[in-house]
Amino acid sequence: MYGKRILLGISGGIAAYKIAYLIRLLKNQGAEVKCVMTPSASDFISPLVVSTLSENPVAIEFWNKDSGLWTNHVELALWADLYIIAPATANTIAKMASGICDNLLLACYYSSKSKTIIAPAMDLDMYQHPTFKRNLNQLISDAVLVIPATNGSLASGLEGEGRMEEPENILRFIQINFPFSAKELSSKKKILITAGPSYEAIDPVRFIGNHSSGKMGFALAEICLAKAWEVTLICGPTNLDLAHPNLNIIPVFSAEDMLLAVQENWKNADIGIFSAAVSDYRPEKFETQKIKKTEKTINLQLIKNPDIISWASENRGAKQFVVGFALETNNALEFALNKLDSKKMDMIVLNSMEDKEAGFKKETNKITILDKKKGKYSFPAKSKREVASDIIDTIFKLM
Ligand code: C5P
């Protein structure tokens, strides 16, 4: 990162105390660092610490009351190759999302032409609050990159999601997403993800479906987007929504629709993550009129659906990486290994219905990852977002 210009915005949360360490890490990489702070951030970390470590004056107010000098936020914002706001509090995120510009940190955001990254930090209930989620989604669709908060002890004494990501991981995120060297450039990826259920029509009003919510696939898409990767998300019927400039979302209904969408998009992808719960069978005949309840019993003849992931494995280029999922109710490991092999995957993510933390519509998931070289990686129960992060990290390691 030699000579790269990083503007670091610090807002007023307890995690601000870790910023001293982040500045050190960035400086050690050779980056030039300038800092802006919100007035309340200086209650959490002394501007003297920040200016000493960054080796630059810290800007807090629009103008210096002693000298009368004005801080040019436009110049500061345009100076930066990258703007990182860490910690980003719920208040700052809300203001960024709604256009409020009442401090220097926000004025720099509005004047900036560089990429902005935020590392949110707040208490767990705030992190789950619909208002916060709405604001965060707004920033994601405004092309702000998000380093998700992690799980652990919070300043309130509670345990949960809301801790700012550790400085080492913030640095790693920057290095992966801002390929300042050719090696890092090669780590930028195009991802194809299938998500959600498939619905197989019986007649114009009924279908065969399953309980998949699509949450796992959407969490995977969010993590990939946060890495500035390009994502094609092919999803069966869900209630979920996601918008981002790097996201191409293709809604589909049946397994056959999903296969068509995969066939059209697969050759451009580096990685395929097939998390959709595709129906194995569909009604052989689609009744064009609603079936009437005249008979005492009726038979529904089913035929096998195409296996989408197998098509992708058989039609892949040398460098394309294929990831599948297995949700099993029994003999989980054995079934997952068989799938890994028969569908020629590089890696399979197993979640067992025997685990109470895993399964449809749950917020958490507990996974074991198996790879084609017989590697086995087990993880504790985590939120689907954290699981998504583990999956992406493992793909990266195996690739
Ligand atoms: O064999 P099973 O359906 O349990 O395999 C699950 C894996 O295969 C998942 O990754 C799922 O997305 C994929 N699959 C598929 N096409 C199908 C059925 C499953 O891609 N028709």
Q: For residue 339, report the distance from its CA to the centre of ligand 1, in Å.
A: 9
Nearest-atom number in ligand 1 for the CA of 306 is 21
Is the separation of the CB atoms in 88 and 120 below 8 Å?
A: yes
The ligand 1 atom at the shortest distance from the C-alpha of residue 311 is 20
Per-residue pLDDT band at 313 (split at 50, 70, 90): very high
Name the closest-CA residue to atom 1, ligand 1. 339
Ligand 1 center to residue 44 CA distance, Å? 50
pLDDT of residue 71: 79
Instruction: Categorize the per-residue pLDDT at 227 as very low, low, confident or very high, splitting at 50, 70 and 90.
Output: confident
Looking at per-residue pLDDT, the higher value among 23 and 143 belongs to 23
Between 185 and 306, the higher pLDDT residue: 306
Ligand 1 lining (C-beta closer than 6 Å):
194, 255, 274-276, 278, 280, 305, 307-309, 324-326, 339
The CATH superfamily holding the domain 182-398 is: CoaB-like (3.40.50.10300)
List all residues 6 or more positions away from 272 whose beta carbon is below 8 Å from its beta carbon: 191, 192, 193, 194, 262, 266, 309, 312, 316, 320, 321, 322, 323
**What mean pLDDT do residues 78-93 have?**
95
pLDDT reported for residue 312:
98
Q: Does residue 210 carry a catalytic annotation? A: yes
pLDDT value at position 144?
93
Domain layout of the chain by residue ranges: 5-177, 182-398
Domains 5-177 and 182-398 share a fold: yes
Compute the half-sphere exposure of residue 256: CA atoms within 13 Å on the CB side of its CA.
Answer: 9
Tens of pLDDT, residues 354-388: 777 666 667 778 899 999 998 999 999 888 888 89
Q: How does the average pLDDT of the chain come out, rounded?
A: 91
pLDDT of res. 393: 85
Q: Ligand 1 centroid vs 392 CA: distance in angstroms?
A: 19
pLDDT in tens, 159-216: 888 999 999 999 988 887 776 544 444 567 899 999 999 999 999 999 999 999 999 9
Annotated catalytic residue, options 91, 137, 169, 210: 210
3-class secondary structure per residue, the chain: CCCCEEEEEECCCHHHHHHHHHHHHHHHCCCEEEEEECHHHHHCCCHHHHHHHHCCCEECCCECCCCCCECCHHHHHHHCCEEEEEEECHHHHHHHHHCCCCCHHHHHHHHCCCEEEEEECCCHHHHHCHHHHHHHHHHHHCCCEECCCEEEECCCCCEEEEECCCHHHHHHHHHHHCCCCHHHHCCCCEEEEEECECCEECCCCCEECCCCCCHHHHHHHHHHHHCCCEEEEEECCCCCCCCCCCEEEEECCCHHHHHHHHHHHHHHCCEEEECCECCCEEECCCCCCCCCCCCCCCCCCEEECCCHHHHHHHCCCCCCEEEEEEEECCCHHHHHHHHHHHCCCCEEEEEECCCCCCCCCCCEECCEEEECCCCEEECCCEEHHHHHHHHHHHHHHHC
The predicted-structure confidence for 232-287, as pLDDT tens digits, reads as follows 999 999 999 888 878 999 999 999 999 999 999 999 999 999 999 999 999 999 99
| Whether residue 226 has pLDDT greater than 80 | no
pLDDT confidence band for 61 (50 / 70 / 90): confident
At residue 182, the pLDDT reads: 43
For domain 5-177, the CATH architecture is: 3-Layer(aba) Sandwich (3.40)
Q: Residue 140 Cα, ligand 1 centroid: separation in angstroms?
A: 30
The pLDDT, as a whole number, for residue 280 is: 96
Distance from the CA of 324 to the center of ligand 1, in angstroms?
A: 7
